[in-house]
Amino acid sequence: MSRRQSYSSASTASASQRDPRSGWREQFLAAIASPAFVEALFDRLPDIVYSIKDLGGRYVSMSEAAVARCGLRRKQDAIGKTAFDLFPQPMAQRYTRQDERLFRTGKPIIDNLDLTVYRDGSAGWCLTTKEPLHDHQGAIIGLACISKDLVEPTRAHLIDAGFADAIDHLLEHFDEPLRMEELARRARLSAAQLDRRMKKIFQLSAGQYLIKQRIDHATRLLAQGGIAIAEIALQCGFSDQSALSRQFRQVTGMAPREYRQLLFGTRS
């Protein structure tokens, strides 16, 4: 088990001992007969594709929208197959690279822009988020994915390969020093044009979107409990703990230590 996974398991157990509410919550969730209710909810959202895969990239579950996207007659036809069985090779290669990065790093993939080809041959863009799935020991055993069609931005030609490449670069390197001018060059846009597109699609400027990625990752590391806040700051791309605390308070209204105290119900 990796150090990250050990921290997660230890913090979960510690939180359970400290907070009596967590025992009730875990009992309730354990009593649910099947996780298929999640799939049923997404079946009612035709513009969102939902799926679960194992470490081998095999589909365990998918929503009706995903079935239609793959040109299948029924969900059972997808079970056990991989992206290479269901999608054109360039799309399958991209999805597989994303999955492998998630399995390797343990980090979720959030708001990734992906080009998709529909069954009628037309192309469009979607916004994809993937979260790792863990077993009871904290080891990653697969992932859950949702992908929302961006119909209006696609029609307005706000997204292209250059813009998507800039977003890919930001998501993969948010924990490193990044300059908005470099992202704009990757997108083949001016900095002002990049900001306008970001606001149209994500409702955030490029700089705000970068901060969001860093703060999102910081909240996940804080929830693990056991990693020093100064170390979290460095892992999230901040120069030091003070920079993280300042930005974290601006975004959430509380300091990182206060956020951790809120999660674990104790002073740590």
Q: Is there a domain that residue 214 lies in?
A: no
Q: Does 54 map to a domain? A: yes
Residue 266, pLDDT score: 54
Number of Cβ atoms within 10 Å of the Cβ of 87: 19
**For 220-241, what is each residue's pLDDT tens digit?**
899 887 899 999 999 999 999 9
Residue 43 falls inside a structural domain: yes
pLDDT band, very low/low/confident/very high, at 97 (cuts 50, 70, 90):
very high
* Tokens 């029924």, residue located: 74
CA distance to 15, 158, 246, per residue, from 171 (Å): 30, 19, 22
Domain that residue 100 falls in: 34-159
Q: If we measure between CA atoms, which residue out of 234, 208, 50 comes closest to residue 126?
A: 50
pLDDT at 141: 96
Residue 148: closest CA among 116, 107, 122: 116
- Given strand 48-54, what is the order of strands in its sheet? 59-62, 48-54, 140-149, 123-134, 109-117
The residue-averaged pLDDT of 124-145 equals 92
Q: Answer whether residue 47 is part of any domain.
A: yes
pLDDT computed for residue 31 by the predictor: 86
Res 243 pLDDT > 90: yes
pLDDT of 235 reads: 93
Q: Does position 26 have pLDDT exceeding 90, yes or no?
A: no
Residue 66 falls inside a structural domain: yes
Does residue 43 carry a pLDDT above 80? yes
Binned at pLDDT 50, 70 and 90, residue 170 comes out as very high
> Are residues 99 and 108 in contact, defined by beta-carbon separation less than 8 angstroms?
no
CATH number at residue 90: 3.30.450.20
Q: What percent of the chain has pLDDT over 90?
A: 46
The span from the CA of 187 to the CA of 10, in Å, is: 42
Per-residue pLDDT, 203: 85
pLDDT at residue 262 above 60? Answer: yes
Residue 261 placed within a domain: no
Residue 12 has pLDDT above 60, yes or no: no
- What mean pLDDT is predicted for residues 242-252? 90
What pLDDT score does 250 carry? 87
118 or 82: whose pLDDT is higher?
Answer: 82
pLDDT at 187: 94
Instruction: Give residue 119's pLDDT band: very low, low, confident or very high (50, 70, 90).
Output: low
Q: In sequence order, which residues have a C-beta less than 8 Å from that of residue 79 and are 6 or more positions away? A: 58, 59, 60, 61
**pLDDT confidence tier of residue 120, bands split at 50, 70 and 90:** low
Among 5-9, 108-112, 239-243, where is mean pLDDT lowest? 5-9
Number of domains in the chain: 1
Instruction: State the chain's mean pLDDT as an integer.
Output: 85
Lowest mean pLDDT among 41-45, 117-121, 244-248: 117-121
Residues 215, 247 contacting (CB under 8 angstroms): yes
Does the pLDDT of residue 254 top 60, yes or no? yes
Closest CA to 167 of 154, 184, 150: 184
What does the pLDDT read at residue 252?
83
Q: Is residue 264 part of a domain?
A: no
Question: Does residue 170 belong to any structural domain of this protein?
Answer: no
pTM > 0.85: no
pLDDT for 144 beyond 90: yes
